[in-house]
Amino acid sequence: MMNQAERSRKRAVIVGMGFGGIRTARVLAGKGLDVVLVDRNNYHLFQPLLYQVATAGLEQESIAYPVRAMARSWPGVRFQLAEVQGVDFAARTLRTDAGPIAYDYLVVGAGSVTNFFGLDSVERHAFDLKELVDAEALRNHILTAFEKAVNEPDPARKRALMSFVVVGGGPTGVEFSGALIELVRYVLAKDYPELSTDAARVVLIEATDRLLAAMPEKLRRYTLEKLRGMGVEVLLNARVTDAGPERVVLHDGAIIPAHTLFWSAGVKAAPLAGALGVTPVAGGRIAVQPDLTLPDHPEVYVIGDMACIEQDGAVLPMTAPVAMQTGIYAGEAILAAIAGRTVPPFRYRDKGSMATIGKNAAVASAFGFDFRGYAAWLVWLLLHLYYLIGFRNRIVVMLNWIWYYWFHERQVRLITSRETPSPSA
Active site residues: 175
Please name the residues in contact with 287: beta carbons below 8 A apart, sequence gap of 6 or more: 278, 281, 308
Helix or strand run (H / E) with residue 422: none
End-to-end CA distance of the chain: 58
Q: How many CB atoms lie within 10 A of CB 22?
A: 21
Q: What angle do CA 110, 17, 102 make, to 5 degrees?
A: 75
Provide the CA 213 distance to its chain's centre, in angstroms. 18
Residues 6+ apart with CB under 8 A from 134: 50, 54, 127, 128
Cα–Cα distance between 256 and 167 in angstroms, integer?
A: 12
Residue 261: which residues within 8 A CB-CB, separation 6 or more? 122, 125, 126, 127, 165, 167, 240, 243, 248
Are 67 and 44 within 8 A, CB to CB? yes
Q: Number of helices (H) and strands (E), helices first, in the chain?
A: 13, 27
* Beta strand 310-311 pairing with 314-315: antiparallel
